[in-house]
A and B are shown apart, each in its own frame.
Chain A
Amino acid sequence: QKEVEQDPGPLSVPEGAIVSLNCTYSNSAFQYFMWYRQYSRKGPELLMYTYSSGNKEDGRFTAQVDKSSKYISLFIRDSQPSDSATYLCAMSPMDTGRRALTFGSGTRLQVQP
């Protein structure tokens, strides 16, 4: 079993829809949680960065972390065709000696105009 599980999709939604992307994880040491967006043939672009449990909002994006359930989510409001990409969750422990991010496999999102 992988440490981080993410539904690969593809997920297809109409423009303007609310999108919900999710990851579950098994390692209780994870404290830092990130969402990256990756366009084809480009590197991952950091969207959201959160520490421990709670919500964080940035424009149309909201990240939620529920450490008790080992579950994180990214919500995209008023989705646009330009949001079509692969979304990767990533996480790491607080251990300052270990900085490696553990990634989910990515969810491919298609927003239809």
Chain B
Amino acid sequence: GAGVSQSPSNKVTEKGKDVELRCDPISGHTALYWYRQSLGQGLEFLIYFQGNSAPDKSGLPSDRFSAERTGGSVSTLTIQRTQQEDSAVYLCASSHRDSEVYSNQPQHFGDGTRLSIL
């Protein structure tokens, strides 16, 4: 079946501009996650959605970063007034609803959006 889909695959923008990154999770997955991968910092958690609500936003690095999820499906990560240090690959993952066996389902990743700030 279809995996996690992210768009655009690449984005180049000027410092100070706003950007929106989109994630389509695997059909039927109720949980959705955003991560950031950069050379110096590795893979870092940003935010977690269960349905349309975000119980854990602890990884968002500043108030320039926000995310929303609508209809329990598509999510958008928005970065306002981009800075050069925002350059990274932004990865989205999704997972099934909790089961009786596993209260923490495995996360499946998309191929990411490669963001470059000039």
Chain A residues in contact with chain B, CB under 8 A? 31-32, 34, 36, 41-46, 49, 51, 88, 90, 92, 94, 96-106
Contacts and interface: CB of A to CB of B under 8 A. Distances in A.
Interface stretch (B11-19, B66-74, B80-88, B100-108): B100-108
B98 A100 contact: no
Interface string B22-59: 00000000010101000000111100100000011011
B102 A51 contact: yes
Interface of B: 4, 31, 33, 35, 42-45, 48, 55-56, 58-59, 91, 95, 98, 102-104, 106-112, 114
B92 to A, nearest CB: 8
B43 A98 contact: no
A47 B81 CA distance: 37
Given A94-B104, A96-B103, A99-B33, A45 B45 contact: no
A2 to B, nearest CB: 9
B109 A44 contact: yes
A106 B42 contact: yes
A101 B107 contact: yes
Given A43-B110, A44-B91, A32 B104 contact: yes
Nearest to B103: A96
B111 A96 contact: no
A103 to B, nearest CB: 4
Contacts of A32: 102, 104
A90 B95 CA distance: 15
Given A99-B31, A99-B48, A105 B42 contact: yes
B85 to A, nearest CB: 19
B56 A98 contact: yes
Given A43-B110, A45-B109, A99 B104 contact: yes
A53 to B, nearest CB: 16
Q: Which 10 A-B pairs have the closest CB atoms?
A: A100-B45, A43-B109, A103-B43, A43-B111, A49-B106, A105-B42, A44-B109, A99-B48, A32-B104, A43-B110
Contacts of B4: 43
A36 B110 CA distance: 13
B104 A92 contact: yes
